[in-house]
Structures are given as structure tokens and as C-alpha cells.
Amino acid sequence: MENKDIIPITLKKIIDDISQFQGYGEKSAQRFTVNLLKMPRGEAIELIRTMNKMLETVHPCKECGLYTEKEICDICSDDKRNRSVICVVEESFDAFTIEKTQVFNGLYHILGGRLSPLEGITAEDLNIKKLLERIDRLNIKEVILATNPTVEGEATANYIHTLLKKKTVVVSRIAYGIPFGTVLENVDEYTLSKALENKIKL
């Protein structure tokens, strides 16, 4: 018997598009799509409107790369922050998670990803040049490398550490209370706060 693809074309396209997102496969994309279809129509339409608004208004901060609705984010524009320390993370949600711990009061720098040769992501694809420029311009004294404790995250931290050896800046790495292979945004606030408090000087 001839196999027929009975999935509606529009539904299949949405599943295919969502499955391209990092961390999503076909099954998780299917679950997301099914949940959306099961929502009351009014709620689903409101969600789509909110997503459209997000795409129109949310963008990376021109200074640090943190997602914001302003030209310069609230962290970068806050004069009460410790402006001599920068915490380097892979994505905005890593910074959001760290901020919840209330342990760190410095600045952030969002790389926009991590080195991954298998995925074709090189240093040129990350926000590293801007980091080096900010370190010099802001006279940064300490850089905390808080990339995820994964193979790619470690490679990224090591790469940046090598670049910073040429500068008179203290380089630290968050402690390893966080299990290897974990994404920071999934770590509970207590564990993450302890990892920051017990950071290791490199």
C-alpha cells in the first residue's frame, strides 16, 4: 500500500520550522503545535499577537546584547551596578537566570551562542569582538566566564580566556557545583548563586 502523508501542509510546515530551533526535534515541535491547536481560539490568537509584538519590539541591547525593548538595557544604564566586572554568558536567558540569584551586581555580555565546529559556529559568529572592545573602553577589572558547563561552553570559555591573557584583567570561571552538560537557565537559583560565589580564578 502506498504511504500517504496525511498531515495538513500548513501544520507540517509549522512543525518543520519549529524543529529547526535549538533544543527542538520533530517530536517536541509536534507537541508544541498540538498544544497550540488545543488552546481556546481567543487565547491562541492573543499568543500570536504577543509573539508578533515581541518580534517588533524586543531586540539585543546595543551595548551588551541582552534582549530588551530599549536601545540600551536597564542593566547597562544602571549607574548603581558594579561597572568594573562583566559576566559573560551564552544567551540572554542565562543572564536573566543569574540576575534572579541577586548575587551578581556587575554588567553582562551576551555572546549569542557558543563555539560549535560541528554546527559551523566560529568565533566570528559570536559577540566576542564587542566584548574585547568593552573591556578596554570600560576599564573592566574582572571577567567572569559563565558559559554553560558543556563541551561547547568549555571550549568557548577557554577560547576567550586565551584572548584575555593579553590584557591586565582578572579572569574567573563559575564553580563546578553545576553538573556538566547542564544549561544555566535550567539550574536552580541556590546552586547557581553558590557557583557564582565560589568562582575560580583562571
- 60-201: what CATH class? alpha beta
Domain spans of the chain, in order of start: 9-57, 60-201
Task: Write the Ramachandran bin of 108: left for phi over 0, alpha for psi from -120 to 50, otherwise beta.
Answer: beta
Per-residue model confidence (pLDDT) at position 47: 93
DSSP class of 179: P
Per-residue model confidence (pLDDT) at position 158: 92
pLDDT tens sequence across 148-188: 888 898 899 999 999 999 899 999 988 665 555 555 655 55
pLDDT tens sequence across 82-121: 999 999 999 999 999 899 888 899 999 999 999 988 888 8
- Of 120, 134, 20, the closest CA to residue 85 belongs to 134
Percent of the chain with pLDDT over 70: 84
CATH 3.30.70.1560 fits 9-57, yes or no: no
CA dist 186 and 148 (Å) reads: 10
The mean pLDDT of 34-53, rounded to a whole number, is 94
